[in-house]
Structure 1
C-alpha cells in the first residue's frame, strides 16, 4: 500500500461531483505532461493518469481552454491512453505482487476495471490474480464493482461471500437500503437459497448492524434475493432484541418524547400547542378550546375543525406526509430500508398529534352522540348537492354499534368507493351510478384526477432549479454560515433574519452568490444582500417544504411569481387530487404498492390478514388511522370542488 505521506493524487469522482471545477485544470496538466516526456513509474502513476483521462473523456475542461486547446488535448489524451495500456500489458506473474503492494486504495475500483480491460488475468492466471488481490486485502465490495471481473471469478466470489456471515451486510448495502450501491454485481452462481442462508446467518451473527437488520425486516419479499417472509420475521425479532439490548446498556441515555392533548374549558383560541421539557422528557401538548368545539358541532364545522384544529390540512395541502425538506442531512445519513417510507422527527411529531387528535376529537363528539363518519356522509349526500349541484355521490357510515374490526373493513371499502366516484365525475362531468358499477378496479391514489387544470405546482426537471433550491434551503449548501455571528439553518433564513453585506461573504461562497444574482433571485443594495423578489422565494419555499404548492390558494402576487417560475422552466403544473407526497402517504398506510414497511391497512382488512379479532386495541388504533385518511380524502375533495372553475362563491372554507 502506498505510504500515507505520499502526495495527494488526482481522483475523478464522477461527472456530477462538485470538485470537478477545480480538479479539471490539474487533470489537463497531468495528461499533457505524460504525453510529452514523463514516464509511468508505478501502478499508482498509471491509475492517476487513468483518472485524469476520465475528465477529458467526459468533456470536463477548465473554462480557459479554447477550442484549439481541446483539440490538442485530445491528441495528448490518445498518447496517455497508450501509456496506460502499455503499463498494464507489462504486468506479469513476476511483478504482479510487487505492483499491488504499492496500491493507493482510493484507486481500488479503477484497478479492477483496468485489470479486466487489459486482460491481465489471461497472462497471470485467474486463480493467481484472485489470490494476490485477496492477499492485498482488496475489499470484496470492490471486486464486485466490475461485471466482467465478477463473471470471470464467479465461483471464487461465491465461495468468499458465503464463507463469512458478515458479508450479509454487504448484501444489504447492495440492494436493500436507500442509496444502495447499484454498481455491485452478484456472482451468477449465487442462488436465492444461498442468499437466504447468508442473510439468515447475518441476522443471527454476534454483532449485526441494527439498522441493516431493520432494513431486511422492511424489505419487500424477493425469493431470488433471499428475502422471504421467514427471513423478514427473523430480522424483525432480532431487531427488537437489539433495541432492548441497546436500551439496557447503562451508558445509553435516552430522551422520552410524549404527545398529548387536553381540553381547556376557559381557552379562547381554538388550539394552542405547547412544548414542555424536563431532564429526560419532552412533551408536545396540544390544547383544544372546549367552548370553541361546542360552538361548532354542525357537520361542516366538524370537518373544518379536522383541518384547522386537528391540523390535517393547510392551504389545500395535507400536513401529515413525510417531505424531503424535513429530513435534513442528519436523517439522510441514517441507514433505512430501500423500500421503507422515509420518516423523520417532523413526520413522527405531526403523525402523533393528528392521530391522537383524530381519536380525541372523535371521542369528544361521541359524548354528544355525533359520529365523524356521519359528517362525511353529510358531505357527500347533501353538501355536494346543495353547494355545487353535484348529485349521486354517496358514503355509507359504519353502524355505531359495530366493532372496530368491522368498522375498519367497512371504511376501507368506502374510501375506495369515494375515490372511484370522484374519478368518474372528473372524467365524465356527471356521476352515473350504472357506469360506476362497471368500473370496479381501484384507481391508484396518485392517478386520481382533479377538476382543476392548474391544481398544483411542483419542481420540473431543471438543473438550475435544483441548484437554486439547494443553495437557498439546504443545510448542506455551505451558504448558511459566514461567521459565529452570521449563521442560520439555511441561506434564506440567513438573509431574512440578518443584514449580510456582500463583502462579508467568504470567497468560496461568492461564485454561488453571483450565480443567484444572475438568476434574478438576489440583489445587492447598498452592499447588503437582499432577495430581488421575496414573493418568488416564498413560492420556492412552499415547494421545498411540501414538494408542491396549491396554486389555487395563491393571491395575485404569489400567482404572478409562480407563473414566472413556470415560464422559466423551474416549476410545472399538475392536475391530480393528491400531490405525490400525499399519494405516497396514502400508499404507505393502505397498501404495499410503494413501501414495504407500512401498516397495509386496506389489504389486511380486505384479505383477512388483520390482527386477532379479540385484539381490540390494535383494531381501534387501525380505525383511527383509517378515519384520519377518510377525513383527509374528504377535505381534499372539498378543496378540489372549491377551486374548480364552476365552483359557486358560497362554499366551505378552510378556516372557521
Structure 2
C-alpha cells in the first residue's frame, strides 16, 4: 500500500490520504502505535502530522475517530523523536540512500526541523555533497541547515559549474516557488564568479543564459552589463550550434499577406505548411475606401481584436506550449514572447505594413487616417473638441519619424485622460504636465469596464474543465477526440464509471464544489451553463469586457461579483494589453522589453536605418491599437447614456 504523503492543503489526493490516517487511528490505540524501525516509517509519521496541522483536515479526522488528535500527534512526535535520538549520532546521512523517492525532500525537512544537522560531521557532509546521486539544491530550501553548513555549501556552489542556476532560482523565481536560501558567506564577487563559470561552462542551458541577459536591474542580485554581454554572446553561440548541428532540423516558418483581385471572400486565413497566410480581397478594400471602414478592417479583416474588443495580439497563457510553459512559468519579470506570440506579432506587423502600402497606391496616407480620427471623427461622433495630434511628414527620415511619433503616443493618452477628468481638453494644462503616463493609469469613461477572476477562486476548476493537461478527458474508446473535459461534456453522454479512479476523484471534486452534478440517469452534467461559459472565456482570455457581453452573461457576472469570485477594473486597457504596450515601449515591468521609447528618448537607439523603418511601423501599429480601444470606450459610454 502506498505510504501517506502530504503535498499541499489544496492537493486533490488529500482525501485519499486523510482516509488512510482515519483508518490508521481507528486501528490503533495510542499506546499501540507501532515503534519505528526504518527511515520511511519516520517520514510517513512526519507527513501524517502535517495533515493534523491543517485546520479543515484536523476537523475531518477528529470527527471520524474516537481519539483526540493532540494525543495522536504527540505520540507520533515521540515515536519520531525516539528514532532520531537513537540514530542521530550514528551517521544519520546514511539513511538517505534508503528513503523512498517521494520522501527525499521530507528527509531534509526532518533534518532541519529536528536540528539533526548539528550531529552531522563536516567531513561526512562534504563527502555526501559529492555523491553523484544527490544534488545540493534540495538542501537550499532549509535555512537552518544552510546556515550551519554555510562555508561548506559556499565552496561547493563555487565549484559547481551550474551554480548559477541556484542564483537565478533565488533571485528570479516567483513567490509560488519554494524559497532558496544561499550561504551568508557568499560574496558579490563569489556570485559574479559563479555566473562567469556558468557562462563559460561546457554545456550551459540557453534559457538560463537568456535569463542572465534579461535579468531585472532592480533585483537584489546585481549583474553588470559586461556579464550580460558575455552571456549574450555565449547564447548566440549556443543557438548557432543548435541551428547548424548535424542532428538539428530547420523549419521554414512564418507569415504571409496577399491581396488577390479576384477573391470573393473579404478575407481567408489558412496554413500552408508552416506558413500562416492571410489573403484579403483587394476588391473589398478598393470598394470601401472610407476612413470608417478602413479602420474597422483592423477588427473584422485583420483580427487585431475579438468580438469584445480585446486585443488578440497579446501573449496568452493558453497559447503557450508545454515545453515553453516549463521554461517560462516561473519568471514574472519576462514577457512571454512565445512562438505563438511571435507569429501573431509578425502577422500583425506584416498586415499593417502591406495595408499601408496598398492604401498609398490609392493616395491614402496612413498618418492622415490617424489625424482624421482625433481631429475630426471624435468631434463629429462624440463632441470632443481640441484633440490635437500631429503625425510625422513624409519628408522626415525614419529615424526622425520615430523620434517624433513617440511623444504623440503619450500625448494621445494624456489628452484622453484630461477629457475624462474635465469634460474637455485644455492644451495649456497638457503642456504644463511633464510626468510620464503609465498604461495602467489610462482611465476608462465607463464603470465596470473589465472583469477578472479573483486570484485562486476558480483556478482549480478552470484547470480541470478547460486545460489539455488535466488528464480527466481521456477515455480509451474515444482516444484523443476531445481537447479538454468541457469539450467532452458538451459532446458525449458520460458517467462516472466510464473513468479510472484517479479521474473520478477529480470529477467528484467538481461535483462537490457545484460545477457539475449527476442527473437521474447517472450522466454527468454541467450545473450552471452560463457560469461555465464565463469561466471558459476567462480561462482562454483572462478578462471579460463587461459591456461587450450579452445581457444574460452580464447578469451572471453581477452575481459572481457579489460572491467575490470576480472583480472589476475601470481602465482603458486590459492588464494583458497594458503588458503588451509596456513590452514594446519600456522596461517598467519586463526586463526583456524592446524598450523602444527609452532607447529613442535617451539616444541609445540603433543606427540601422532598416530597423528605424521597422520601429516606426511598430509605433503606428500601437497607435492603431490605442485608437480602437478609445473608440470602443467612447461607444460603450454613448450607448449607456442613450
TM-score, normalised by the number of residues in structure 1: 0.89
Question: CA, structure 1 residues 522+640, in 2 after alignment: closer, same or farther (shift >3 Å)?
Answer: farther
Aligned match for 1:623, one of 612, 616, 623:
616
Cα deviations by residue, 1:240-267 (Å, 9 ceiling, x for unpaired)? 2111111222222233212001111111
The answer for the alignment partner of 2:422 in structure 1 is: 428
8 Å contact kept, 1:28–1:52? no
Cα deviations by residue, 1:601-633 (Å, 9 ceiling, x for unpaired)? 111111111101xx1211111111111111101
8 Å contact kept, 2:42–2:80? yes
What SS does the aligned partner of 1:325 have?
helix
Question: CA, structure 1 residues 205+178, in 2 after alignment: closer, same or farther (shift >3 Å)?
Answer: farther
Cα separation, 2, equivalents of 1:58 and 1:268: 65
Moved more, 495-504 or 593-602: 495-504
Residue 338 (structure 2) pairs with residue 341 (structure 1): no
Aligned match for 1:196, one of 179, 185, 192:
192
The answer for the alignment partner of 1:366 in structure 2 is: 360
Cα separation, 2, equivalents of 1:205 and 1:462: 41
What SS does the aligned partner of 1:380 have?
helix
Residue 232 (structure 2) pairs with residue 236 (structure 1): yes
Cα separation, 2, equivalents of 1:541 and 1:76: 44
Residue 490 (structure 2) pairs with residue 496 (structure 1): yes
Cα separation, 1, equivalents of 2:349 and 2:531: 34
Cα separation, 2, equivalents of 1:102 and 1:495: 45
Question: CA, structure 1 residues 31+218, in 2 after alignment: closer, same or farther (shift >3 Å)?
Answer: farther
Question: CA, structure 1 residues 330+529, in 2 after alignment: closer, same or farther (shift >3 Å)?
Answer: farther
Residue 626 (structure 2) pairs with residue 637 (structure 1): no
Aligned match for 1:542, one of 537, 540, 546:
537
Question: CA, structure 1 residues 572+157, in 2 after alignment: closer, same or farther (shift >3 Å)?
Answer: same
What SS does the aligned partner of 1:357 have?
helix
Question: CA, structure 1 residues 253+190, in 2 after alignment: closer, same or farther (shift >3 Å)?
Answer: same
Residue 255 (structure 2) pairs with residue 288 (structure 1): no
Cα deviations by residue, 1:549-602 (Å, 9 ceiling, x for unpaired)? 112112233323333433443322221101111111111111111111121111
Please give the residue correspondences for 1:448-527 in structure 2 after superposition, counting only pairs within 5 Å: 448-461=442-455, 463=457, 465-485=458-478, 487-500=481-494, 504-513=498-507, 516=510, 519=514, 524=519
8 Å contact kept, 1:43–1:103? yes
Query: Structure 1 residue 382: deviation in Å?
Result: 1.2
The answer for the alignment partner of 1:153 in structure 2 is: 149
Aligned residues: 635
Please give the residue correspondences for 1:245-284 in structure 2 after superposition, counting only pairs within 5 Å: 245-277=241-273, 282-284=274-276
The answer for the alignment partner of 1:652 in structure 2 is: none
Moved more, 197-206 or 475-484: 475-484
Moved more, 446-455 or 495-504: 495-504
8 Å contact kept, 1:328–1:475? no
The answer for the alignment partner of 2:182 in structure 1 is: 186
Aligned match for 1:553, one of 548, 551, 554:
548
What SS does the aligned partner of 2:76 have?
helix
Query: Structure 1 residue 110: deviation in Å?
Result: 3.1
Cα separation, 2, equivalents of 1:364 and 1:314: 24
What SS does the aligned partner of 1:458 have?
strand
Cα separation, 2, equivalents of 1:297 and 1:515: 56
Query: Structure 1 residue 34: deviation in Å?
Result: 9.2
The answer for the alignment partner of 2:311 in structure 1 is: 318
Query: Structure 1 residue 425: deviation in Å?
Result: 2.0
Question: CA, structure 1 residues 34+647, in 2 after alignment: closer, same or farther (shift >3 Å)?
Answer: closer
Moved more, 335-344 or 164-173: 335-344
Query: Structure 1 residue 330: deviation in Å?
Result: 4.3
Cα separation, 2, equivalents of 1:222 and 1:155: 28
Cα deviations by residue, 1:22-49 (Å, 9 ceiling, x for unpaired)? 1223345557759433112233332222
The answer for the alignment partner of 1:4 in structure 2 is: none
8 Å contact kept, 1:300–1:375? no
Aligned match for 1:46, one of 42, 47, 59:
42
Query: Structure 1 residue 536: deviation in Å?
Result: 3.7
What SS does the aligned partner of 2:320 have?
helix
What SS does the aligned partner of 2:259 have?
strand
8 Å contact kept, 1:151–1:187? yes
The answer for the alignment partner of 1:118 in structure 2 is: 114
Structure 1 regions of 5+ residues with no counterpart?
1-6, 650-656
Cα separation, 2, equivalents of 1:49 and 1:507: 26
8 Å contact kept, 2:22–2:65? no
8 Å contact kept, 1:409–1:605? yes
Cα separation, 2, equivalents of 1:495 and 1:93: 58
Aligned match for 2:594, one of 578, 594, 599:
599
The answer for the alignment partner of 1:301 in structure 2 is: 293
TM-score, normalised by the number of residues in structure 2: 0.91
8 Å contact kept, 2:451–2:569? yes
